[in-house]
Copies of this chain bind each other. A is one copy, B any other.
Amino acid sequence: MRFLIKFSYDGSAYAGFQTQRGLNTIQEQLENAASIVNNHQKTVIVATGRTDKGVHALCQYAHVDINVKITEKKLKRALNSNLPDDIHVIETKQVADDFHARYNVKEKEYTYKINMGEYNPLERNYVFQYNYKLDINNMKEAIKYFLGEHDFRAFVTDNKEKENCIRTITKATISEQDEIITIKFTGNGFLRYQVRNMVGILIKVGENKISPETVEKILESKDRTKAGKTAPAEGLYLSKVKY
């Protein structure tokens, strides 16, 4: 029986989502928990996508095949009782045997948080602590250039020469509350470090170091060296997934 699992995690303590030998990863924790439920057989978790070291998820999905008879409710409970307290299964749902958590994704949303105000120790792992005031109006101008279908090569870290970097962003918003800037991107898919690199350039715009229009030029240049710094992991959340 194939199940689709909806889950959330605090990425602070992990080397990222994907299993890496000798490192603590979210995938490994989930596979261990699923294997216990699955009569201790080796069990594979196939997620919507990876998240990098320190990145969080408010809403992430994976499919898993369970060969013992179990209800959706009991599977949720069994997984949670075998997971550490920084990973949590929100929901489980039986799906068709050919359902695929990665291939069937229609849309994803990522959220990025920047704190321009005083450092708050309770949020130290959950926002990028920036400390200074950013020009949010210029950032709002700049973010529009990411909308639509583009070759995002200039915003990808470590991409292979021939990798297809064409993606579509359908929604991109910036808001501010209590000195915290929240940036949201919705799209059909995102490349490695793409969101953090887009945020990096938006911060440069917010610092008035480059004009909003420069973002369009960088995008068109397809040149990674032009796009500048990658924003840190702790401010990034996978926040929505649509099938």
Name A residues whose Cβ lies closer than 8 Å to a Cβ of B: 8-10, 56, 58, 85-88, 90, 118-122, 124, 126
Whether the Cβ atoms of A124 and B86 lie closer than 8 Å is yes
| Residues on the B chain within 8 Å of A126, using CB | 122
Chain B residues with CB under 8 A of A85: 121, 124
Q: In the bound complex, what is the Cα–Cα distance between A8 and B120 (angstroms)? A: 7
Some 21 contacts from A to B, beta carbons below 8 A apart, are A8-B120, A8-B121, A8-B122, A9-B121, A10-B121, A10-B122, A10-B124, A56-B122, A58-B120, A58-B122, A85-B121, A85-B124, A86-B121, A86-B124, A87-B121, A88-B118, A88-B119, A88-B120, A88-B121, A90-B118, A122-B126
Q: How far is the CB of A23 from chain B (nearest CB, A)?
A: 19
Instruction: Add 17 more A-B contacts to A10-B121, A88-B119, A88-B120 (CB < 8 A).
Output: A8-B120, A8-B121, A8-B122, A9-B121, A10-B122, A10-B124, A56-B122, A58-B120, A58-B122, A85-B124, A86-B121, A86-B124, A87-B121, A88-B118, A88-B121, A90-B118, A122-B126
